[in-house]
Amino acid sequence: MAGKLDNPSLFEFLLRMGDNTLILGHRVSEWCGHAPVLEEDIALANTALDLIGQTQMWLGLAGEVEGKGRSADDLAFLRDAWDFRNALMLELPNGDFGQTLMRQFLFDAWQVVMLGRLMQSTDARVAAIAAKASKEAAYHVERSGHTVVGLGDGTEESHRRMQEALDYLYPYVGELFVSDAIDTAVAEAGIAPKLETLREEYDALVGRVLSAATLSIPGGSYVHQGGRDGRMHTEHLGHLLSSMQWLQRAYPGCEW
């Protein structure tokens, strides 16, 4: 039976969902005008727009739940690095095109599974956001998965780069499945699933694609973590925020 959840815990959960899409959306947008071919430039820009649109919904609800009058824009542009709750993998620099697409796929696969469960949330607002975002996520994982297969099972050079990207990023994946007191509270309230219950479906989806891409999941059990609870971020987040937030910080409340 679902329990009652306090607003601070729900607020933290919503920040985690919104910060994931905000930070990844910004990273993906950095490819605009720099992608290897025009079609990919447009596709990545559209992906970034989808993610920022999802951010508007998650952070908008977070501001409403917090009850302090902060909007989605306030939460995006007026918080400092230590207030962000995104997974560490999403704030890492883009690297080459292969690394960007591998990161996108690893997140897309998680998001598809997570949103599928959130559509059954006891909070109608969370369920509605998940239902809308899941349509975009389904397209994203199909596209990024196909690209991972095409590059992984492509030339010797593209295969090498994709394997290197997977080796680098995979130790960050585990953070998406590590629960803390906030995750336990929202799960007990029926708002979100227990993160560990997502792993089997996630591994099956990722395994199918990586097998088709002739890529090997690296061994080792170490998991980078600290971003989702704000304990620790990489040095890259501060640089990202200085770029993303500078206009609002320099000209507070500007309108045009």
Decide if domain 7-216+223-250 falls under CATH 1.20.1260.10: yes
User: What pTM did the predictor assign?
Assistant: 0.95
DSSP conformation letters of the chain: ------HHHHHHHHHHHHHHHHHHHHHHHTTTTTSSSHHHHHHHHHHHHHHHHHHHHHHHHHHHHHTS---HHHHHHS--GGG----GGGGS---SHHHHHHHHHHHHHHHHHHHHHHTT-SSHHHHHHHHHHHHHHHHHHHHHHHHHHHHHTS-HHHHHHHHHHHHHHHHHHGGGG---HHHHHHHHTTSS--GGGGHHHHHHHHHHHHHHTT------------TTTTS---HHHHHHHHHHHHHHHHSTT---
Q: Tell me how crowded residue 255 is: count the other CB atoms within 10 A of its CB.
A: 4
Cα–Cα distance, 25 to 133 (Å, whole number): 14
pLDDT value of residue 35? 87
* 211-214 contacts, C-beta under 8 A, 24 or more apart: 212/149, 212/152, 212/153, 213/148, 213/149, 213/151, 213/152, 213/153, 213/162, 214/152, 214/153, 214/159
pLDDT value of residue 1? 38
Question: What residue segments make up the domains of the chain, in order of their start?
Answer: 7-216+223-250
Q: How big is the chain by its Cα radius of gyration, in Å?
A: 18
Q: Which residue has the tokens 């975009």?
A: 136
pLDDT value of residue 4? 64
Average confidence (pLDDT) per 10 residues, the chain, 256 residues: 73 98 98 90 95 98 97 97 98 97 98 98 98 98 97 98 98 97 96 97 98 96 95 97 94 85
Cα–Cα distance, 53 to 48 (Å, whole number): 9
Sequence-distant (6+) residues with CB within 8 A of 29 are 44, 45, 48, 52
pLDDT value of residue 118? 98
Q: What angle do CA 120, 130, 69 make, to 5 degrees?
A: 110
Q: Are 98 and 215 in contact (CB under 8 A)?
A: no
- Which tokens sit at 203? 């591994």
pLDDT value of residue 56? 98
